Amino acid sequence: MRATDIIKTIRVSEKALQLRDLYEAKRTEGVKEDNAPPAQYTFVVDRRANKHQIRQAIRELFPKVTVTRVNTVNQHGKPKRQNTRLPGYTQNWKKAIVTLKRGDTIDELI
- Mean local confidence (pLDDT), 73-88: 91
pLDDT score at 54:
97
Q: What is the DSSP letter of 109?
A: G
CA 43/CA 48 separation, integer angstroms:
14
Average pLDDT over residues 70-78: 95
Q: What is the C-alpha to C-alpha distance for residues 57 and 47, in angstroms, rounded to an integer?
A: 14
Task: Please state the pTM of the whole predicted model.
Answer: 0.79
Cα–Cα distance between 45 and 106 in angstroms, integer?
A: 17
Q: What CA dihedral angle connects 33, 34, 38 and 39, to 10 degrees?
A: 0
pLDDT per position as a tens digit, 7-60:
998 887 777 777 766 655 555 555 555 566 778 889 999 999 999 999 999 999
Q: Would you state the pLDDT for residue 91?
A: 94
Task: Report the pLDDT value the prediction gives residue 108, as an integer from 0 to 100.
Answer: 67
CB atoms near residue 102 (< 10 Å): 16
